[in-house]
Amino acid sequence: SPGKFRTWGNLGTAYSENGKETKAVNCYRQAIKIEPEYIPGLLNLSNSCLRLNQPKEALDATNQLLNLKPDAVTNPPVAMGLGLGLMGVGRLNEAAFTFRKIIESNPGNAQAYKALGMVYGQLGHLQQALEQYQIAYRLEPSDRFLPSMIAAVQSALAIHPATTKSSNPLPLPFRLSSD
């Protein structure tokens, strides 16, 4: 059914679940072309774009979703997509605000703490980055990336013990999720 947006959305999800994000993006775009107000398609497009390291496209899809449904910003997956998109395009203070709002409404969200730590690392606020990573690790000890992220910040702090701010921001890790 090439004219049915849900069919394209379902195909996109199948591709995404099998690691074929480029094909998933194409399917979600086709679904949205047919039905521009297809909220799940916009959210899935944003997530697939993030996985493809296309933060501008992800942010565009999230903003399109929020233009249609402004209260969706309180939905944790939408808010995470917004924050990650903002972080990816270098709008770090807005990203930090978004992640703090997620944490405020859901203090058990390890991914939000991890993402906030990443933002603080990029801003050079190493002590704050370390604190966020440690909270994330307490909440999600199975995250295989957090130990190396914590070690990197501890190492950077050891090099500059007199300061908690570094002029050399930490590089972003290549993945946020723990899979």
Residue 3: predicted pLDDT: 79
Rg of the chain taking only CA atoms, in angstroms? 17
CA nearest 112: which of 166, 174, 177, 63? 177
Mean pLDDT of 35-48: 96
Q: What is the pTM of this model?
A: 0.85
Q: Above 70 in pLDDT, residue 77?
A: yes
**Is the pLDDT higher at 53 or at 170?**
53
Q: Above 50 in pLDDT, residue 45?
A: yes
Q: Above 80 in pLDDT, residue 2?
A: no
The answer to whether 110 touches 139, Cβ cutoff 8 Å, is yes
pLDDT in tens, 135-169: 999 999 999 999 999 999 999 998 866 555 555 55
- Residue 30 token pair: 């086709």
Q: What is the mean pLDDT of the chain?
A: 90
Mean pLDDT of 96-111: 96
Provide the 3-class DSSP secondary structure of residue 173.
Answer: coil
Mean pLDDT of 22-48: 97
Q: Above 80 in pLDDT, residue 121?
A: yes
What's the sign of the alpha-carbon dihedral 173, 176, 178, 179?
A: negative
How many residues would you count in the chain? 179
- Residue 34 token pair: 């047919």
Q: Above 60 in pLDDT, residue 34?
A: yes
The answer to whether 81 touches 62, Cβ cutoff 8 Å, is yes
Residue 170: predicted pLDDT: 53
Mean pLDDT of 113-122: 96
Q: How far is CA 162 from the centre of its chain?
A: 32
Provide the H-helix boundaries in 3-145. Answer: 5-17, 21-34, 39-51, 55-68, 76-88, 92-105, 110-123, 126-139
The answer to whether 148 touches 156, Cβ cutoff 8 Å, is no
